[in-house]
Amino acid sequence: MRAFFVHTALLVLSFSVESFAWGEHGHRTVGYLARLYFTPNGEALFNELLAPTAMFDISDGAVWADDHGVQIRMPFSKPWHYIDAKDDPPDNCTIVYSTDCDPDKHCVIAAIVNMTSRVNNQALLKQEQSNAFKFLLHFLGDVTQPLHTEEKCKGGNNLMVQWGPLNSPREKLHQVWDSLIIQKLIGYKRPTSPDPNNVYDKSLARTWAAELKTRIDAGLLAAPTALECININTPEKCALKWAGEANKLICSYVLKDGKNLGRDRNNDDCRWEWHGPEDVSKEYYQGAVPIVEAQIAKAGYRLGAWVNALAEQRSVMRRNGITFDEGSLRVQGRLDL
Ligand SMILES: *[C@@H]1O[C@H](CO)[C@@H](O)[C@H](O)[C@H]1NC(C)=O
Ligand SMILES: *[C@@H]1O[C@H](CO)[C@@H](O)[C@H](O)[C@H]1NC(C)=O
């Protein structure tokens, strides 16, 4: 039974791509970019809590939260990837934390707060600290994806648009923002042979991360605004600010041309009249590129600083005689059951 189950899970993994996060390339890039900013202490924390190998690097850590194995073991983590602003685009984009984060505090902001406090919680097993670390690698990315901060049409999952010439299959607007814009920008082509270790995806992400770093360091992208709130002692304030910034992009660009036909009646509903261009892979794509670049750049930059700050905190705790669990980590892998 066990063997059968694992086999089935592998099939699921290869053939279905869920869309509820910056896609694989976005998250991998955020991971690589963050690592380019790690201090020696940040690097040490990464080594301690991720135990990277040739097969499981920082970018694998950054996509781990979307892994089907994780989804199966921790189904309760699904709502941690977003916050549903119940606002009124395109006229009013606003997050109201008290009502938009569900009553049990299952949303990306609460998750960032929770995971930030768990990484250096000496009462937790190292494996739990490691999981919190990997969740952070992911959520600091997700909170910058505009459609992860919007309830309308289930964050664009129920809003179908045309990507490419007429007769192209229609795509979820959410998927356009998670993956398709990025894939077009970085020149992704669907591989013709199997690539179980994601060598190709990783090399595209590594290259993009290096380009973004050059532009950030030249002051051309992200850094000044990204730096406005990087304080692990006020995670709720910072995560709310980051989410608010992403949510404003819903009104200023993502859903700017359209008409809200009222609150969606249920999860599968989409009361929205799309007035944007017919084919979103042209002008709409062109206009989205600088937004996506800035959002990914900010995510990576902030994540680097966040990890460095957590590493400092851990060093101080150690100097003060606090000990952390020295247990070993489970063997890592895409299928972390
Ligand atoms: C915008 O939406 C928020 C949240 O729904 C609401 O509190 C606020 O009053 C609205 N602002 C305007 C100008 O309508
Ligand atoms: C924080 O994360 C832990 C571990 O995943 C989870 O059990 C707990 O419910 C979370 N707490 C909140 C407030 O979300």
What was the pLDDT predicted at 2? 35
Confidence band for 15, pLDDT divided at 50, 70 and 90 = very low
Q: Are 36 and 304 in contact (CB under 8 A)?
A: yes
Q: Is the pLDDT of residue 117 over 50?
A: yes
What was the pLDDT predicted at 69? 83
Residue 170 has which token pair? 């229609």
What was the pLDDT predicted at 113? 98
Does ligand 2 come within 6 angstroms of the Cβ of 110? yes
**Atom in ligand 2 nearest the alpha carbon of residue 77:** 5
Domains of the chain: residue spans and CATH: 13-190+234-319 (1.10.575.10)
Note the pLDDT tens digit of each residue in 122-166: 999 999 999 999 999 999 999 999 999 999 999 999 999 999 998
Confidence band for 60, pLDDT divided at 50, 70 and 90 = very high
Residue 283 has which token pair? 């002008």
Distances 191 to 39, 57, 198 between C-alpha atoms, Å: 35, 21, 10
Note the pLDDT tens digit of each residue in 172-214: 999 999 999 999 999 999 989 999 889 999 999 999 999 999 9
**Atom in ligand 1 nearest the alpha carbon of residue 96:** 4
Residue 160 has which token pair? 């179908």
Confidence band for 332, pLDDT divided at 50, 70 and 90 = low
222 sits in the region (left: phi over 0; alpha: psi -120 to 50; else beta) called left
Q: What average pLDDT does range 234-242 have in this prediction?
A: 97
Q: How far apart are alpha carbons 90 and 251 in whole angstroms?
A: 4
Does ligand 2 come within 6 angstroms of the Cβ of 105? yes
Biggest CA-to-CA distance, the chain = 65
Distances 111 to 107, 156, 215, 260 between C-alpha atoms, Å: 6, 22, 30, 29
Q: How far apart are alpha carbons 17 and 146 in whole angstroms?
A: 20
| Torsions phi, psi for 161 (to 5 deg) | -130, 165
What was the pLDDT predicted at 81? 95
Q: Please choose, from the candidates 116, 328, 92, the residue with its C-alpha nearest in 3D space to the C-alpha of residue 239.
A: 116
Does ligand 1 come within 6 angstroms of the Cβ of 87? yes
Q: Are 30 and 175 in contact (CB under 8 A)?
A: no
What was the pLDDT predicted at 220? 92
Does ligand 1 come within 6 angstroms of the Cβ of 92? yes
**Atom in ligand 1 nearest the alpha carbon of residue 87:** 5
Ligand 2 mean position, distance from CA 203 (Å): 34
* DSSP H or E stretch at residue 162: strand 160-162
Return the percentage of the chain with pLDDT > 70, whole number: 92
Q: Is the pLDDT of residue 8 over 90?
A: no
Q: Is the pLDDT of residue 3 over 50?
A: no
Q: Please choose, from the candidates 132, 28, 30, the residue with its C-alpha nearest in 3D space to the C-alpha of residue 74.
A: 132
Nearest alpha carbon, ligand 1 atom 11: 92
**Atom in ligand 2 nearest the alpha carbon of residue 111:** 14
What was the pLDDT predicted at 290? 97
Q: Are 26 and 178 in contact (CB under 8 A)?
A: yes
Give the lowest-confidence range in 66-70, 106-110, 128-132, 312-316.
66-70
Q: What average pLDDT does range 115-126 have in this prediction?
A: 98
Q: Is the pLDDT of residue 103 over 60?
A: yes
Average pLDDT, the chain: 91
* DSSP H or E stretch at residue 272: strand 272-274
Reduce the DSSP state of residue 260 to 3 states and report it. Answer: strand
Q: Is the pLDDT of residue 121 over 60?
A: yes
Ligand 2 mean position, distance from CA 104 (Å): 10
Residue with the bigger pLDDT between 77 and 103: it is: 77
What was the pLDDT predicted at 222? 83
What was the pLDDT predicted at 70? 86
Q: Are 35 and 304 in contact (CB under 8 A)?
A: yes
Nearest alpha carbon, ligand 2 atom 8: 114
